[in-house]
Amino acid sequence: MLIRAGYEISIECQCETPLMALLSVHPSRAGDLCTPAVITSSGAAPLSASLDEFGNLRTRTIAPVGTLQLSTNFVIQDSGLPDEVALWADEVPVPQLPEEAVSFLLGSRYCETDRLSELAWSLFGNTPRGWRRVQAIVDYVHHRLTFGYPFARCTRTAFEGHEERVGVCRDFAHLAIALCRCMNIPARYATGYLGDICVPRVPAPMDFSAWFEVYLGGRWFTFDARHNRPRVGRILMARGRDAADCAITTTFGQSKLIGFQVTTDKVSRVSTAA
């Protein structure tokens, strides 16, 4: 399957402002690209790229006074298969976890394991271990929260989402991640493209999406508490402990987002046309 994806993002600054972005296709998908996923900038300052501590491709630049537009457009090869379901995948005992997974057991900015631990054990302590336990957590979060873009709030934590019972995809991911960590299952936040591919098209404007990954059976698996069904066509951009590690842009000064457009569509062939 071929997917054309990209974005146009416009940011307004009152003075020259350092900017950091996680808007590149994740290095793990670089081999799937059919056309270069080059980020272009309307600013005069160069773009520099490097890997961050989580293996994401980070871009840095200086936003000029006025408007900075960042954009990209690319075609990527995808398997066309839905997210894997592995009922056999069991939990790995904490002493046997590899170093790469241990840090994803800990509480983080948006995932307060200390405030949710008692609840998690009361709800899931008697569920079957492994995949079925994670699925039970996903089912709970999916039914506990009501999705809606008007509910978006960038400061909402997992505990607050649980109490308010509303949120957007990042809130679903944060709550599920926190509950998994409370049950000693490593869980990490993920963000990227997820188009309406092999599902009914949603009339709302396209956005980036958030989901999460858990470490079971010696590897990482994808779960999605918002949609709660295997989906086709995820294009990973960034992973981290939570949304604080995966912000699409971070500015070191005052700025305002004034334009935001994301596209993700299945296409029949590779074309240089936008």
Whether 128 and 201 share a structural domain? yes
Whether 182 and 112 share a structural domain? yes
The parent domain of residue 223 ranges over 94-232
At 257 the three-state DSSP class reads: strand
Whether 130 and 207 share a structural domain? yes
Q: How far is CA 139 from CA 85, 179, 228, 250, 268, in A?
A: 15, 12, 7, 32, 35
pLDDT for 12 equals 98
Q: Using an 8 Å Cβ cutoff, are 137 and 178 in contact?
A: no
Whether 18 and 125 share a structural domain? no
CA distance 238 to 247: 9
pLDDT per position in the chain (274 positions), as tens?
A: 999 999 999 999 999 999 999 999 999 999 999 999 999 999 999 999 999 999 999 999 999 999 999 999 999 999 999 999 999 999 999 999 999 999 999 999 999 999 999 999 999 999 999 999 999 999 999 999 999 999 999 999 999 999 999 999 999 999 999 999 999 999 999 999 999 999 998 888 889 999 999 999 999 999 999 999 999 999 999 999 999 999 999 999 999 999 999 999 999 888 754 4
CATH number of 146's domain: 3.10.620.30
> For 141-161, what is each residue's pLDDT tens digit?
999 999 999 999 999 999 999
Q: Report yes or no on 258 lying in a domain.
A: yes
Q: Quote the number of domains for the chain.
A: 2
pTM: 0.95
Whether 120 and 218 share a structural domain? yes
Whether 131 and 34 share a structural domain? no
At 56 the three-state DSSP class reads: coil
- 159 CA to centre of own chain: 19
Q: Using an 8 Å Cβ cutoff, are 59 and 24 in contact?
A: yes
Whether 61 and 122 share a structural domain? no
Q: Report yes or no on 225 lying in a domain.
A: yes
CA distance 52 to 64: 24
Whether 50 and 99 share a structural domain? no
